[in-house]
A and B are shown apart, each in its own frame.
Chain A
Amino acid sequence: MRTVIFRTIAPYLSALMVLYSIFVLLRGHNEPGGGFIGGLIAASALAIFGIACGVAAVRRAIKVHPMSIAGFGLFMGAAAGVISLFTNQPFMTSQWWPIDLFNVQIKLSTPLIFDIGVYLVVVGAISSIALALEERESD
């Protein structure tokens, strides 16, 4: 798999895919997309990078272990539900903080935090499996 063409194109392709996965994640609240599918796209970006340049390069690039990313995602997801404690509402009631930025309204919210959590869990879990499988193959 490690042809020159693939190795040259893979970093750019991966970067584009991660960017696109974030777009899918943010678009997801009211339109098709969301944390899960975005996470899958990002995980496949890491997998492609791993196939082309080796697992060690991926591990260096993402700095922390994928399972730690998943753990942080789980933490975010759980924490997003707790915020409604402070407004006397039940667990996981969504809170909205719309802000105006250059005449564009951006709606920050707990569902967004939760979705980012899902994204991180999926990225972490799937890429951890994918990297482990790729490692075995190259041994």
Chain B
Amino acid sequence: MASTYSSEKVDYSAAMNLEPVAAADWLIVAPVLVSLIGGAVCLMMRKNTDAQPKLAILFLALLVLVNFGLLIRVLDQGVITMVMGGWLPPFGIAFTVDALGATLSLIASIVAFCAGLYGIVTVGTTGRRYGFYPFLVLLMAGVCGAFLTGDIFNLYVWFEVLLISSYGMLVLGNEKPQLDGAVKYGVLNLIGTNFFLIGTGMIYGVFGTLNMADIAIKMSELDSPASGTLLTIAVLYFLAFAMKAAAFPVNFWLPASYHTPNIVVSAVFAGLLTKVGVYALLRIFVLIMPGSREALADLFALVAILTLMTGAFGALAQSELRRLLGYLVIAGIGSMLAGIAVGTTLALSGAIFYAVHSIIVMTALYMASGIVNMMSGTYDLRQLGGLYQRNVAFAAVFLVLAFAVSGLPPFSGFWPKVLLVDAAFADGRALLGAAILLSGFLTTIAMGRVWIYAFWRGGPEGTPDGESVGPGAATAVAGGRAAGLAGPAVWLPLGILTAMIVYFGLQPEWMLELSTRGAVGLVEPRGYLRSVFGGL
């Protein structure tokens, strides 16, 4: 009976990778493994609400470390691949990591680590018992998996993993508006996921493989890269990922749901989820289907312009701080879409840099708005005021974040905008370049309005000029919630993220090099393909 399974008789080398794998190559799967095991351990400890945050933060710190190691290895060795169970594509699932995936994975894990710290204060015992920390760590399994996988169906699976975790986080408090927001979010995402799945089914029907590198090779061998079938697949994918990314016609779920959950959940979502959609657009339309991207470039540009305008005008019109920030997320998505629409190396590196910037700055802004709420007990701009007098340092941090999200120098938002505008004009898309600039200008006004209302003026609406409502009165509004401010747990993550924004603004070379490498790897995928199949 044993002989049936002995490997001596069959030559597996055509279908399997039988080479010994260096232990360092395990870094490729380490981010997913660490988050899966971390999530499982947190799930087992669900009753122990004191130990849970510590464990989760420990695992998230470990996640940052392995992602950092992975990025260093990718920069050192080029694109690296590991095939699960040794089975080569098209049989097995490959994890293929390039500079783009490793960079985004690292930044995402830093943001998740900060959110873990921030959650110590904002997520109470009930939220912990309902599983905030297991969901957060498992969400990271989905996010990192999506960034690192080299298989299109596997990408779908990681999307599901992160969506399921995000549903859980969205309804954490079990309040009515939360359920309402979760239904909108859930329905839209399920529809998007269905389009994704249908498109993937068609890809498999056409090419007989689901490995991204394999599809890219077979796609480039086709005679007519823009046939009807391929265009259908391309439009399905575009619609699916545009929904995830909250691009213009399908953006309404984001402002409808992002202001309902716990503020740290909003921060994580605003930072990570839409950017996974943008990443998928980059991966599929630039690496796998470059022909379809060229055919749809004008559509992309139109959607990008409309998204930029929706986001900017929406932000101007809002008086609820969290909803306003939700529209700024959308405006950022427009900038990244603009990079994909132009499609040159310069534009793509701008889009990648912008994605990194947007992950950090949107999370930081939501965290800051959470602190605003702790200090004054409201998110309503009409009732905010006088925060400058209560904490000058916080006012300065908020101003830095406002500058960064508007794309003003010397912060991290400036450089990707320069790249994107430069690339748009160089490509002859003047309207697109103008839209990015106009959106930045409107964002400056919207954020300036927030800063003046919440920090600069003396007190809530109706306070006469020159007078100020003393800190004592404002503390009375906040009640007991201000007590939470004592801990460093809310200031440390905000500090880390703000420091990154300032660092990437003043020293952009490192991030520019990373995003350029990521963009070159997408436009000239030879290294990516060679890493999966060897030779070539």
A interface, CB within 8 angstroms of B: 65, 67-68, 70-75, 77-79, 81-82, 85, 88-94, 96, 98, 105
Contacts and interface: CB of A to CB of B under 8 A. Distances in A.
B40 A90 contact: no
B85 interface: yes
A68 B82 contact: no
Interface string B171-215: 000000000000000000000000000000000000000000000
Contact of B46 (A71, A85, A89, A105): A71
Given A74-B43, A78-B40, A88 B20 contact: yes
Given A75-B40, A78-B33, A90-B21, A98 B46 contact: no
19 contacts: A67-B43, A68-B43, A70-B43, A71-B41, A71-B42, A71-B44, A75-B37, A75-B41, A77-B36, A78-B36, A85-B23, A88-B20, A88-B23, A89-B20, A90-B17, A90-B84, A91-B82, A105-B1, A105-B2
B331 to A, nearest CB: 38
Interface of B: 1-2, 5, 17, 20-23, 25-26, 28-29, 33, 36-37, 39-44, 46-47, 82-86, 95, 131, 134
Nearest to B46: A67
Contacts of B83: 90
Interface of B is mostly: helix
A68 to B, nearest CB: 5
Nearest to A73: B40
Given A68-B46, A71-B46, A90 B134 contact: no
Given A68-B44, A74-B39, A82-B33, A88 B1 contact: no
A105 B5 CA distance: 13
Contacts of B21: 88-90
A73 B20 CA distance: 29
Contacts of A68: 43-44, 46-47
B134 A65 contact: no
A74 B84 contact: no
Contacts, number: 72
Contacts of A98: 2
B44 A75 contact: yes
Contacts of B37: 75, 78-79
A58 B186 CA distance: 32
A85 B21 CA distance: 8
Given A67-B43, A70-B43, A105-B1, A85 B26 contact: yes
Q: Which of B46, B47, B86 is most buried by chain A, counting CB atoms within 10 A of its CB? A: B86
Contacts of B44: 68, 71-72, 75
A124 B114 CA distance: 30
Given A81-B29, A96-B5, 4 more contacts: A72-B44, A75-B44, A78-B40, A92-B85
A75 to B, nearest CB: 4
A111 to B, nearest CB: 10
B43 A90 contact: no
Contacts of B47: 65, 68
Contact of B84 (A70, A78, A92): A92
Sort A-B residue pairs by CB-CB distance and give the 3 closest, nearest first.
A71-B43, A75-B40, A74-B40
B134 A71 contact: yes
A99 to B, nearest CB: 11
A74 B43 CA distance: 9
A105 B4 CA distance: 13
A120 B241 CA distance: 33
A7 B41 CA distance: 36
A92 B95 CA distance: 12
A68 B52 CA distance: 13
Nearest to B29: A91
